[in-house]
Amino acid sequence: MSRRGVARTWVVVAVVLAVVTGAHAESSLDDIRARGVLRVGVKTDAPAFGSRDANGRLVGLEIDLTRYLARVLFDDERRARFVPVTTATRFAELHAGRVDLLIATVTATEERRQVAELSEPYFVSASLLLVPAASGVDGIGALAARRVAVIRGSVQERDIAQWQPRALLIGVGSVAEGARAVKGGQADAFVYDDVTLLSLAQHDPALRVTGLPLGPRPYAVAARKGDTGLIRWVNGWLARMRRDGSYVEMWRRHFRAFEGRLVGS
């Protein structure tokens, strides 16, 4: 990804969503420093963002972001405590105080702004379709009267009603479950975030990704409602990453193979 491409990504981010942070709320940073550990909710089933490699080690853009924040906070990335979350459980973990931040493919929406503090975006994702390799489905228009898997609680669960109101929705609990539904014939397509589906299809010849990018939206880091001090701290380091090239390096590490199919690339 070129620096010009990265610049376009951040322009898309700005157009898609303007982020407002408060100015006077207290920050949990002092508590985190005193504890000596930064607890972050991450996905373990979202390839290229958060998943496990062949050795069981967590890898992905969001894992790298978490380690980066722990490194600048403690000068030791091992002070990052990864708490596995799913789309369904992540905000419950945050509200219960079991994590300090969510870096877990959290799509920034106005509804989520009502229940959490959201950072400036660090990625823009659109939705694509995962289908069997031999499927004739070529886009959202072909899904009328077909079974479409969506993760419960995801933005796609809501969006699919607008994109294709005649689709027959099947709720699933995870990315892996959605992929299994497609491979097993229980669903004709699985609609989810672009990078995750492209990563799955890259490693599974029985699957392919199709369709034009739908509903581009930014991903943001989430903190508990009112903890704007912590989010301002996150925003400061995200801005520095854009300036010093750290973000470009991470992007290339995880997404180079999909350049050209991603919004803003």
User: 3-state secondary structure string, the chain?
Assistant: CCHHHHHHHHHHHHHHCCCCCCCCCCCCHHHHHHHCCEEEEECCEECCCEEECCCCCEECHHHHHHHHHHHHHHCCHHHEEEEECCCCCHHHHHHCCCCCEECCCCECCHHHHCCEEECCCCEEEEEEEEEECCCCCCCHHHHCCCEEEEECCCHHHHHHHHHCCCCEEEEECCHHHHHHHHHCCCCCEEEEEHHHHHHHHHCCCCEEEEEEEEEEEEECCEEECCCHHHHHHHHHHHHHHHHHCHHHHHHHHHHHHHCCCCCCC
- Is the pLDDT at 4 greater than 90, yes or no? no
Give phi and psi for 210, each to the nearest 5.
Answer: -140, 175
**136-156 pLDDT, tens digit each:** 999 999 999 999 999 998 989
* pTM, to two decimals: 0.78
pLDDT band at 27, cuts 50/70/90? confident
| CA atoms of 49 and 86, how far apart (whole Å) | 13
Q: Which of 204, 195, 156 is nearest to 60 (CA)?
A: 195
Q: Which of 37, 253, 5, 4 is nearest to 124 (CA)?
A: 5
| Model pLDDT, residue 14 | 42
| CA atoms of 227 and 25, how far apart (whole Å) | 6
Q: Could you tell me the two tokens for 161? A: 């009603």
Identify the structural domains of the chain with CATH numbers, from first to last. 3-122+220-258 (3.40.190.10), 126-216 (3.40.190.10)
Q: Which of 189, 175, 178 is nearest to 85 (CA)?
A: 175
| Model pLDDT, residue 226 | 96
**114-127 pLDDT, tens digit each:** 999 999 999 999 99
